[in-house]
Amino acid sequence: MPAIMADTLDTLATPCLLLDEARLRTNAERMRAHLAGLGVALRPHLKTAKSIDVARIAMTSPEGPAIVSTLLEAEYFAAGGVRDMIYGVGIAPAKLPRVAAIRAGGVDLAIILDSLEQADAVADHARASGDAVPVLIEVDADGHRSGVAPGDRDTLVAIGRRLVEGGATLRGVMLHAGDSYSLRDPVALAAAAENERFAAVTAAGALRAAGLPCPVVSVGSTPTARFARDLTGITEVRAGVYMVGDLFQAGVGSVAVGDIAVSVLATVIGHQRAKGWIIVDAGWMAMSRDRGTARQAVDQGYGVVCDLAGRPYPDLLVADANQEHGIVALRAGSAAALPDLAVGARIRILPNHACATGAQYDRYHVLDGENRVTAVWPRINGW
């Protein structure tokens, strides 16, 4: 369906996804400058943005580098001219033909894995196709998810040798410090970044000591990228949600609430005045069911409610949600006054998790500094 342009927030159909272009550009430049000061390359993770227009602002060149989380993203960004990508989810053997098709289009698409079984499948693919597909071994930074233990030299070397002997290209190691998302204290976050760095350098050293190549040493998450103070031995940092921010990252301390560039535009559709509720047309289908801030020091409900200029109302949240109804109310215990929002009034809602909220939409309505809609940027979803 073709995008319909509108000049003001009053004429958009709601709910819809807004993007503040100035905040996006500021966030992207801040991360670039921070990592440049530490002497490492930035590889933006495009899983949050899912838009070539956003990617071109975040990347250091139109051809990349970048990292994606789905092969559909890889295909989409390849069609947009991105030529240097990592598919950042452990490879399933059945996906190798699709990887090969993307690579055949002139894209340097690397994959990741963390087991000998995967390495065998990749080696078989390389021998059969003649495609020396580049591979990074995923290393476990902190017990958060996948990866080989950084001190497990035998497994690292065995995987590396299996790949090289099978005709694939061993490009290096990559880590993701996912446990950093549970932190808040800047000192603890800096320590998590250093732990990530040390684990990466340890794993790279094990491969090199065995005579195996390891040109790329890749780490990254938005919190550790933001709080890293020393990246000696690291060649690149990956991060994604920093571009647009969200309430969860604000709770971590990676961004400020004033940095959040995405919001959902919603319309007031009713009131339950005896309960102190304002009902809006943005429920959990519009905001997503992500309630990640409930595990943080400040629970932001389903999102923080702002006026049309993007300024948060004091203590006003989407406190509860049904599929298409949002229940706007004051934070429990607040002494603030409920704003007088008539039926038909419009609000903006800052999301808990930009990736999950963004996944509900197929486009961004892009705002300038005067909150005028200046463009509609398509975004993709799916795998």
- Counting residues of the chain whose pLDDT is more than 70, the rounded percentage is 98
Residue with tokens 């809609």: 373
Which part of the chain has CATH 2.40.37.20? Answer: 257-378
For the residues of 36-71, what is the DSSP string, one character each?
HHTT-EEEEBTTTT--HHHHHHHSSSTT--EEESSH
Q: Which of 136-150, 179-193, 249-263, 276-290 has the lowest average pLDDT?
A: 179-193
Residue 153's pLDDT is 95
Mean pLDDT computed over 230-254? 95
Which part of the chain has CATH 3.20.20.10? Answer: 50-239
Q: Is 133 helix (H, G, I), strand (E, B) or coil?
A: coil
- Cα 14–Cα 15–Cα 20 angle in degrees, nearest 5: 100
pLDDT by residue (tens digit) across 193-220? 999 999 999 999 999 999 999 999 999 9
Mean pLDDT computed over 291-320? 96
- Counting residues of the chain whose pLDDT is more than 90, the rounded percentage is 90
Strand pairing partners for 44? 239
Write the CATH number of the domain with boundaries 257-378: 2.40.37.20
* Separation CA 136–CA 89 (nearest Å): 11
Quick one: fold of 50-239?
Answer: TIM Barrel (3.20.20)
* Separation CA 87–CA 70 (nearest Å): 7
Mean pLDDT computed over 73-94? 98
Residue 7's pLDDT is 66
DSSP secondary structure letter of residue 143: S
Residue 369's pLDDT is 85
Residue 3's pLDDT is 47
Residue 1's pLDDT is 38
pLDDT by residue (tens digit) across 141-177? 877 778 999 999 999 999 999 999 999 999 999 998 7
Residue with tokens 């080989």: 148
- The pLDDT of residue 2 is above 60: no
- The pLDDT of residue 180 is above 80: no
